[in-house]
Amino acid sequence: MQRLKLWALCVLIALDQLAHCLLGGPKYILFGGPTPDPDETISSIVGRQAIVGKRWALICEVFIDALFGAGHCRSKIGT
């Protein structure tokens, strides 16, 4: 059962990273900015952008942290 949980977690993280690339790709193509990093999750990008004060990230951070626990986004930076 432990292996199943670990595998499921890996799949969820991979889907999160895919979603980041799919959502960030059109913005990058149309407006420029940093290339979407395939190894970065949505939580980590929101955390990094919230630290620099981006309004959209501060709003998203509230909802993500409510789901996964206080400080979740900022704790995922670099992981």
> pTM score, two decimals?
0.81
The pLDDT tens digits for 21-79 are: 998 889 899 998 888 888 899 999 999 999 999 999 999 999 999 999 999 999 988 76
Q: Cα angle at 43 between 19 and 15, to 5 degrees?
A: 30
Residue 35: its pLDDT value, please?
A: 85
Residue 65: its pLDDT value, please?
A: 95
Give dist(CA 13, CA 7) in Å, integer.
10
Where in the chain are the domains? Answer: 2-75
Residue 36: its pLDDT value, please?
A: 85
Give dist(CA 3, CA 8) in Å, integer.
9
